[in-house]
Amino acid sequence: MTNQPPQLSEMAAETAGRSYALRYFDRPGSGPTVLYIHGLGCSKADFMEMASVPELQSFRLVCADNPGCGDSSYDKNHPLNIDGVVELIENFVAQLGLNRFMLVGGSMGGLVALLYAERNPNKIAGFVNVEGNLAPEDCMFTRLVISHSYSHFENVVFPQIKKALSAKAGRGFAQHLRVLEKANPRAYYDYSFQTVEYSDHGNLLERFLSLPVPRCFLYGSENRHLSYLPQLLKSECTVIEIPNADHFLFYDEPNYYAAALASFARNSCLFSVGEKPR
What are the pLDDT digits (tens) for 120-133?
999 999 999 999 99
pTM: 0.94
Predicted confidence (pLDDT) at residue 277 exceeds the cutoff of 60: no
Alpha-carbon torsion angle 92, 97, 103, 108, nearest 10: 0
**Taking Cα atoms as reference points, which of 143, 109, 127, 61 lies closest to residue 247?**
109
pLDDT of res. 3:
63
pLDDT of res. 17:
87
Whole-angstrom Cα distance, residue 265 to residue 179? 28
CA dist 274 → 90, 126, 269 (Å): 32, 18, 13
Whole-angstrom Cα distance, residue 123 to residue 149? 39
Predicted confidence (pLDDT) at residue 16 exceeds the cutoff of 90: no
pLDDT of res. 1:
46
Domains and CATH numbers, the chain: 7-269 (3.40.50.1820)
Predicted confidence (pLDDT) at residue 236 exceeds the cutoff of 80: yes
Least confident of 103-107, 134-138, 176-180, 271-275: 271-275
The upper half-sphere exposure of residue 227, i.e. CA atoms within 13 Å in the direction of its Cβ, equals 7
Predicted confidence (pLDDT) at residue 271 exceeds the cutoff of 60: no
